[in-house]
Amino acid sequence: SNGRVTALRPFSEDPDPSPIGPPLVDLLDHPTRIRKPAVRRGWLEEGPGPAQGRRGVDPFVEIGWDEAERLVAAELDRVRGKHGNRAIYAGSYGWASAGRFHHAQSQIHRFLNCLGGYTRSVNTYSYAAAEVIVPHVLGTFGGMLSTHTSWASIAEHCELFVGFGGLVLANGQMGNGGTGRHIQREGFRAAVKAGVKFVNVSPRRLDMEPPADPVWMPVRPNSDTAMILALCHTLRAEGLVDAAFVARCTTGYDRFAAYLDGSSDGLVKDADWAAGLTGIGADEIRQLAREMATKRTMVSISWSLTRQQFGEQPYWAAISLAAMLGQIGLPGGGIGFGYGISNQIGNNVAKMPYAALPQGTNKVSDFIPVARISDMLLNPGQGFDYNGGSYTYPDVRLVYWAGGNPFHHHQDLNRMLAAWDRPDSIIMHDWCWNASTRRADIVLPCTTMLERDDIGMSPKDPYIVAMAKAMEPVGEARDDYSILAGIAARMGIGEAFTEGRSAEDWLKWLWSSSQKRARAQGAELPGYAELVRDGYHRIAPRDDEMVMMAAFRADPEAAPLNTPSGRIELFSEKVAAFGYEDCHGHATWNDPDEWLGNASADFPLHMLGKQPGNKLHSQLDPGAHSQRAKVNGHEAIEISPQDAATRGVTDGDIVVVSSPRGRCLCGVVVCDGVMPGVVMISTGAWFDPEDPATGGICRHGNPNVLAPDIPTSKLSQGPAAHSCLVQVARYEGSPVRITAFDPPDIAPRG
């Protein structure tokens, strides 16, 4: 209305639309919106260099686009000329955009590759440990995510669904590249109606929702591997292993079996052993193993289980369990990685090879595992191990970030503040003043998806959406492509970056290229003008129900896995040869540094940072839907009635949550669906430290202030946020004002 977006309506073909998106309307012209290019005044007046505690403290000076382009170009040239391209870090770790062209990571990486390259990051915060270990065991991980057994197959054939880490359907509101029809809740309800029995192996009862009436097995956090190993031992001890499948489709079973039996280390991994670690009774573990062996069983393991110390092990153990059951490749059974976590898992879609923006070639070989950014900034020149190799952290002088919010997804944020102080310059593209942009040196305002044309298309979703521009950009915001094209022109690489194409030209090129790729698979896509006219296009459904690894099961010789043996590697000679003390040649149990098995009086509770159901990670946290879930403005903490009573707190009270790394304020929600000894805090509250420069207590309730910045293991170097002990106590101070959504001071020049 009158050039403004006043409401967002659900897609007509979506039976379960997400409530996360509509509050975007209120944030388009919100005080957090960045309207003009801005430069931290200390950087503008004194030039680049370590910030000495002034990032997040200094006011900003608004400037014009011409000056912004000149400053960015000059700083990139200075760093390249003096330190080389490896001194530029552009992890730009963010969440996949719904738009195929205006995807911030693709844009910034293409731009920097035109300049000669940059230090990059590998893997994700979502499931880094699985990304590295599963290819050693199954040959691929990403390929498995796109070929999951469909929900329809589960409803028709599965009898028992065992969810390690639960099945949190709220996480399925999102999908990389865009979501047309939300199918997770629909698929889950169909399976319940068909009589599938669900087992929720999780510290939180609500990790499986109605209409299921699941068996709840409240396992101690970080002990899933012990429970899975005990299930494997029971299968072996009671003659329930599918020996024919193991012999035909796996390798290394004898080495793994020796570990289960204790002949390799003197410790039998039976149910009695696991009961003391997991809190689950030995008889319950044995009975579950027997039931899994006699029913068509889906072993489902949440992505969250990778985000703990030794996060590789629950995935390797779960694959070993599914292999011993012998049901991998059968309809409705086998193994699953993340049902409920992303809308595309179990979505029975004919995968389409859509074109993407070419990113060119990165001439810099340096990289870091994505969760090691603070280590890199604090320890230039220090060595690190990763997946069998030895590498060195580069001396990064410039961080260029487009897409994502590092002060959301990283751990030990007070440590990250110290690391963030080190580079000479930090340049960011974003549309809102969040904790990261407030700590940048140059901030370039970009558009939202409602302020530009794009195409929403995901290889794992059947809907292609013409994302028509709904309004003009707020203030002087530009899309990432326009921002980078302007800088590229100043640096003499304008033609290399744009290839003479406008954004509209690129959209037509992407569509034409995707049409050709689809045609090669026997599918016809409409013309670009027709897509824009109709608003969306639906890909024809598959003729069959997808079953993960069915071809391999049918003929392992004709369809081998991409592993050294071509089979499922229950023991990996390659991983064993790495010689890592924290990741051996088969799935093992390892005591975490912080878990209930070694809790102390100072830190007696295990804190888990769960994914929020009311925002996408930290995105749209200032919006009404997210704010309704706050407790007196603070992020909520779920705590059991027993633990609340011990501390004399009840619903609505404000508490201090502390760990060896920091403190934050949260609002109490007493919840009998959380096991005693465990507290849950949603991630995504915008970081709001008492001291913007050095940290201190986070007034808003960001759990990553508490979580350790340690690797899962030397193999993957993934994040281990879920291995975290805390204390909770009533807050006795005066009410605090939360400033997370206040924009920084804008000062005049000089």
Catalytic annotation, residues: 93, 95
- Evaluate whether 172 touches 341 at the Cβ level (below 8 Å): yes
DSSP code string of 415-449: HHHHHHTSSSEEEEEESB--TTGGG-SEEEEB--G
Structure tokens at 328: 């991998």
Amino acid at 84: G
Amino acid at 324: M
DSSP code string of 638-704: EE-HHHHHHHT--TT-EEEEEETTEEEEEEEEE-TTB-TTEEEEES-PPP-EEETTTEEEESS--GG
Residue 564: cis peptide before it, omega within 30 degrees of 0: no
Q: What is the 3-state secondary structure (H, E, C) of 136-179?
A: HHHCCCHHHHCCCCCHHHHHHHCCEEEEECCCCHHHHHCCCCCC
- Evaluate whether 615 touches 20 at the Cβ level (below 8 Å): yes
Amino acid at 204: R
Length of the chain: 750
Structure tokens at 390: 């030895």
What is the phi-psi region of residue 174: left when phi exceeds 0, alpha when psi lies from -120 to 50, beta otherwise? Answer: beta
- Residue whose C-alpha is closest to residue 589's, from 265, 132, 332, 123: 265
Instruction: Report d(CA 262, CA 589) in Å as an integer.
Output: 12
- Residue whose C-alpha is closest to residue 431's, from 721, 8, 137, 104: 104
- Residue whose C-alpha is closest to residue 277's, from 708, 586, 675, 590: 590
Say whether 619 sits in a helix, a strand or coil. Answer: strand
- Residue whose C-alpha is closest to residue 91's, from 441, 426, 493, 358: 426
What is the phi-psi region of residue 139: left when phi exceeds 0, alpha when psi lies from -120 to 50, beta otherwise? Answer: left
